[in-house]
Amino acid sequence: MNSASSHDNAVTLFVMAKNEERCIERCISSAAALVDEVVILDTGSQDNTVELARGLGATVHVTEWPNDFAKARNLGLSFVRTPWVLSLDADEWVINAPDKLSSVVSASPRCDRIFDVGMLMIRHSDTASQADLEGASRLWAPRLFPSHLRYTHPVHEVLVHSLKVERSSILLGHDGYEEEQREHKIGRNLPLLFERLKTTPEDGLLYYYIAQELRAQAVPELNPEIKNCFLESVSKMSDGHHLKEVVCREAISFFAATRDYDTGIKVIFESFSKGVRSAELSYLAASFLVNCARNQTRIDKSLLLSVAEKMFIRVATESDLQSRVFVAEQDTKLMAERSLKATRAMISAL
């Protein structure tokens, strides 16, 4: 181990890549000065990814794609020589961070915790303005962690640990959901998800991932299958799962987009009756009920608006906590206050 990787707070940037010449330089350049080493695992690029990475001083290891994201990431982590690792995807880049990440991990001299980083989902990053960054949704994910940890699950891999998780000030951009990149990921991920489902048919999170992959194709004929996947996910996931409220939110958003009010109402009331809630979920659910009252006549409007009013009050008074995982960079409390005023006006007009 050289001097750069020998101290207790040393951090390696690790990136797994394949055909990422579009963005690999941006990823490495954004973080290279913050870390002690850069390690790339290339899983079969046929473009200039390897040459570009090496040109920026990264150590590049090349392997065949094992058809399993966890296996590939674990192989890459085996090349990391520092106590800590910052794990990024090639289509991510550091927007904001301390001058050295060693100053972040120094709070954990025994490598007894993991640091979440915030990720902004951005489209067309080359022209993203400050307003775009401020309005983007933020996902919190464990990306700065002790390098001895490993992943499980062949797709949408999960870091295995029982350590304390602490939020950091590190902020990433992510533009992997632009149309061209999204199409590539759909073709890559769906076969792996369906294969995994054969051996773990009760894994509700798999149904959620499949629903999202199918939803990204924007093909109306797939809506019945997407609906079934969302319902399977909501019913099979434990109510205490940290992603359950995110799944419920995405399901409600889908049912709002498809104007499936009956199913959306069912998901809302089943979720809330089981204690699955957050400020974001309450706001989304209340907005769904208001739209339902506006656009259909079968269900009593006063009942829908009354329930929505109570949900908006919970958000406006901060009775529901913010999501632990996926946080919209907007003032949910302020939006709820405005929506509450409009909802009460609708109730008065009945």
On whether both 243 and 330 belong to a single domain, the answer is yes
Q: Is 287 exposed, middle or buried (0-12, 13-18, 19+ CB in 10 A)?
A: buried
User: How many independent structural domains does the chain possess?
Assistant: 2
> What is 224-280 written as a DSSP string?
HHHHHHHHHHHHHS-TT-TTHHHHHHHHHHHHHHTT-HHHHHHHHHHHHHTT---HH
- Tell whether 187 is covered by a domain: no
- Contact in structure between 246 and 327 (CB atoms under 8 Å): no
On whether both 172 and 252 belong to a single domain, the answer is no
Which structure tokens are listed for 61? 């290891």
Residues 57, 45: Cα–Cα separation, whole Å? 18
On whether both 112 and 15 belong to a single domain, the answer is yes
Q: What is the CATH number of the domain that holds 44?
A: 3.90.550.10
- Tell whether 191 is covered by a domain: no
Q: How much is the pTM?
A: 0.76
On whether both 210 and 66 belong to a single domain, the answer is no
Residues 256, 3: Cα–Cα separation, whole Å? 56
- Tell whether 188 is covered by a domain: no
Q: Per residue of the chain (350 residues), give pLDDT as tens.
A: 344 555 889 999 999 999 999 999 999 999 999 999 999 999 999 999 999 999 999 999 999 999 899 999 999 999 999 999 999 999 999 999 999 999 999 989 889 999 999 988 776 555 555 555 555 667 888 999 999 999 988 888 889 999 998 989 999 998 865 555 555 555 678 888 998 899 999 999 999 999 998 998 889 999 999 999 999 999 999 998 888 999 999 999 999 999 999 999 999 999 999 999 899 999 999 999 999 999 977 889 999 999 999 999 999 999 998 887 766 556 788 999 999 999 999 999 98
- Tell whether 237 is covered by a domain: yes
Q: Give me the domain span that covers residue 55.
A: 3-176
Q: What letter would DSSP give residue 79?
A: T
Give the pLDDT of residue 233. Answer: 97
- Tell whether 184 is covered by a domain: no
Give the end of a domain, one of 143, 176, 209: 176
Residues 246, 248: Cα–Cα separation, whole Å? 5
298's CB contacts (< 8 A; 6+ apart) are none
- Tell whether 194 is covered by a domain: no
- Tell whether 195 is covered by a domain: no
On whether both 223 and 155 belong to a single domain, the answer is no
- Tell whether 327 is covered by a domain: yes
Q: What is the CATH number of the domain that holds 288?
A: 1.25.40.10
Give the pLDDT of residue 332. Answer: 86
